[in-house]
Each structure stands twice: as C-alpha cells, then as structure tokens.
Amino acid sequence: MSKVKLLRYLANLGYGSRRDVLAMFADGRIGDAAGEALYGDDVRAHDDIRIDGEPLDPAPGLLLMLNKPTGYTCSTKDQGRLIYDLLPRRFRQRDPVVSPVGRLDRDTSGLLLMTDDGTLLHRIIAPKSKLPKVYRARLAGDLRGDEGPVFASGTLMLEGEKTPLLPAELEVLSAREARLTLHEGRYHQVRRMFAAVGNHVEALHRERIGGLDLGDLPEGEWRLLGDDERVRLFAA
C-alpha cells in the first residue's frame, strides 16, 4: 500500500491521528519484519508491518471473545468501569470501533462477542439468525416447577410488549438455579422472564452463543476467534 494509504490504515487501527503516524514514520518507528524502516510507496501486507519492532494489532474484520466480569458496562462513554478497560487501549480508537455484539448488562457476566465488522455483527444479532444463547441464573426464590412449560409455550408476554416470546428451554439445576436457552435477545430478557413467573434473578452468567462457549478463558480475559470458530458459531 502507498504511504498515504498506510498512514490512513494505521490511524484507523487506533495508532493515532495521521499526523501522529507521520511522526512515527519520521522517527523510524514503522518498519517491516526484517527491521527495515518503511518510507515512500513501499508495499507491505498487514502481517509484514512492525511498529517499534512489534506486529500490528489484529487486522480489520476481527472477532473476539471476552469473558466479561460483573461491574463492567458495554459502552465507550458511560461512567465507571467499561468493557474497553479489559482490552488493549487502541481497540476503542479504531475506525470502525470494536463493538459488542449485543450487550450484557452491568450485573451480568460471561460470554461477550466483539467485532469491527458491521456485516458480521448484524448477521449474529439479526432476529432471523435465532442463534441460541445459554444463560445460567441464580434465583432469589425456589422454582415452582411450572416455569419450564411456561417458557416453552411461545405465549409468554413480557410487561410493556405486544409480541409473545419465542419458546425457550429451561433446565433446572437446583431449587434456585437454572439454565435457560433463548433464541432471541430482548432487553433484560432473562431477568424479565423470571420476574413474570414471580421470581428474581440474583446472578446471571452467559455460557454460550451459538456453537461457542467460553472454554477455559479466564474471567476478564479475551482472545481472537479463528475461522473455524466463526463456522462453529453459526453451526449450532
């Protein structure tokens, strides 16, 4: 790519303004894998470019998995702790920004996908995708025993809405703990579903989206997803 295109490319990856990147060129901080400084119209691929001797951040079109702890908000601007505090600082400066695919509220932990690919984001969250999302809930009161049929009926209406929920599957784990599989993503849906049957969610954790789960990813950590995992996401 030409120097002008490389300036724009690095700026869009969050390395600073074009003026900042130009200064990095002037200081000899931008080179290739062989350690040679890049000047003029030299052509390099993403994986060949180095800044201060280090490979570039992931190329555009990334998809990552974050094991979100409670207490973090899925936002770039809200007060308090943000999910971006758990990622490399440049990620929030990228253009397009690395955005959460759907959201987990501040008090919900677990699997959160993030991408800078708008087409992929909309494919995942589109209602017609109906990707299953699996949550583990700890409840304030004992389960009554009729929640499973109610959630699976396809007739449950949430307060303030005009369309019934799609059928959802409930797995009882103990008197006050359950796993719930949804095929849509409405606002605070799991909490509102249990409220509709007279209970209250005390803790909520998302375990799976489509064919992906957190595996051994520690809380607060993230990792990039490969092509095979993108396939698994939609294979559920």
Task: Summarize the confidence of residues 71-96 as an average pLDDT.
Answer: 91
DSSP string over the chain:
--HHHHHHHHIIIII--HHHHHHHHHTT-EEETTSPBP-TT----GGGEEETTEEPSPPSS-EEEEEEPTT-BS-SSSSS-BGGGGS-GGGGGSSS--EESS---TTEEEEEEEES-HHHHHHHH-GGG---EEEEEEESS---S-HHHHHHSS----TT-SSPPPP-EEEEEETTEEEEEESS--TTHHHHHHHHTT--EEEEEEEEETTEE-TTPPTT-EEE--HHHHHHHH--
Lowest mean pLDDT among 119-128, 205-214, 216-225: 119-128
Q: Is the pLDDT of residue 4 over 80?
A: no
pTM of the model: 0.92
Residues classed as catalytic: 105
The mean predicted confidence, pLDDT, of the chain is 93
Band (40; pLDDT cuts 50, 70, 90): low
pLDDT value of position 3 = 64
Residue 231, pLDDT > 90, answer: yes
Average pLDDT over residues 137-158: 97
